Structure 1
Amino acid sequence: MTDTIRQRAEAALAEVEQVSAVVLAEPTDANAIVPLKDADKPVGAEITKRMAEIDMSDTQSIVSFGSNAQAELQEISQSMLQGVRNKDVGPAGDSLRGIVSTIRGFSVSELDVRRKRSWWETLLGKAAPFAQFTARFETVQNQIDKITEDLLSHEHTLLKDIKSLDILYDKTLNFYDELALYIAAGEEKLSILDETDIPAAEAEVEKAPEGDQVMKAQELRDLRAARDDLERRVHDLKLTRQVTMQSLPSIRLVQENDKSLVTKINSTLVNTVPLWETQLAQAVTIQRSAEAASAVRDANDLTNELLTANAKNLRESNKVIREEMERGVFDIEAVKQANADLIGTIEESLAIADEGKARRAAAEEELKKMEAELRDTLAAAKSRRDGVGDNAGTAVPGA
Structure 2
Amino acid sequence: MSEATRQEAAKALAAVEEVTAVVLPEPGNEVVALDAAPAPVAEEIRRRMAELDLSDTGSIVNFGSAAQAELQQISQAMLQDVRNKDVGPAGDSLRNIVTTIRGFSVSELDVRRKLSWWERLLGRTAPFAKFLARFEDVQGQIDRITDDLLGHEHKLLKDIKSLDLLYDKTLNFYDELALYIAAGEEKLKELDGKTIPAKEAEVKAAPEPDQVMKAQELRDLRAARDDLERRVHDLKLTRQVTMQSLPSIRLVQENDKSLVTKINSTLVNTVPLWETQLAQAVTIQRSAEAAGAVREANDLTNELLTANAKNLRQANEVVRTEMERGVFDIEAVKTANADLIATIEDSLRIADEGKRKRAAAEEDLKKMEADLRDTLASAKARSTGSGDSLGGSVRG
TM-score (norm 2): 0.67
In 2: Cα distance, 1:58 partner to 1:293 partner:
92
Cα displacement (A) at 1:74: 0.6
Distance 1:297 1:62, change over 3 A: closer
Q: Tell whether 2:17 aligns with 1:17.
A: yes
2:159 pairs with 158, 161, 164, which one? 161
Q: CA RMSD in A?
A: 2.9
Alpha-carbon distance, 1:175 to partner: 0.5
Aligned match of 1:149 in 126, 147, 154? 147
Q: Which runs of 4+ in 1 moved over 6 A?
A: 327-332
1:260-279 alignment, distance < 5 Å = 260-279=258-277
Alignment of 1:55-66 (within 5 A): 55-66=53-64
Structure 1 counterpart of 2:10, which letter?
E
Residue 33 of structure 1 aligns to a residue whose secondary structure is coil
Cα distance in 2 between the residues matched to 1:250 and 1:329: 110
Please name the residue that 1:39 is paired with.
37
In structure 2, relative to structure 1, the CA distance for the partners of 1:319 and 1:223 (3 Å cut) is same
Listed one character per residue, the Cα deviations across residues 264-287 of structure 1 (whole Å, up to 9, x for unaligned) are 111111110111101212233344
Match of 1:181 in 2: 179
Matches of 1:75 and 1:27, distance apart in 2: 21
Alignment of 1:5 onto 2:1: no
Structure 1, unpaired ranges of 5+: 91-134, 340-399
Deviation at 1:304, TM superposition (A): 5.0
Q: Which amino acid aligns with 1:243?
A: V
Equivalent of 1:313 in 294, 311, 318: 311
Q: Percent identity?
A: 78
Q: State the distance in 2 between where 1:34 and 1:311 align.
A: 108
Q: 1:375: which partner in 2? A: none
Alpha-carbon contact 2:55-2:224 (below 8 Å) kept? yes
Deviation for aligned residue 1:87: 7.0
* Pairs aligned (count): 290
Q: Deviations over 1:137-156 (max 9, x none)?
A: 96222111111111111111
Alpha-carbon distance in 1 for matches of 2:211, 2:230: 28
SS of the equivalent of 2:231 reads helix
**Which of 70, 73, 85 is equivalent to 2:71?**
73
Query: For structure 2, which runs of at least 5 residues remain unmatched after alignment?
Result: 89-132, 340-396
1:321, CA displacement in angstroms?
3.1
TM-score (normalizing by structure 1): 0.66
Q: What's the CA shift string for 1:302-354, capped at 9, x where partnerless?
A: 5555444432221121123344564988997xx89xx9xxxxxxxxxxxxxxx
| Whole-angstrom distance in 2 between the partners of 1:89 and 1:312 | 74
Kindly tell me: are residues 205 and 88 of structure 1, through their superposed partners in 2, closer, same or farther at Cα, counting changes over 3 Å?
closer
Matched, 1:222 2:220: yes
Separation in structure 2 between the aligned mates of residue 189 and residue 80 of structure 1, nearest angstrom: 36
Q: Which has the larger radius of gyration?
A: 2
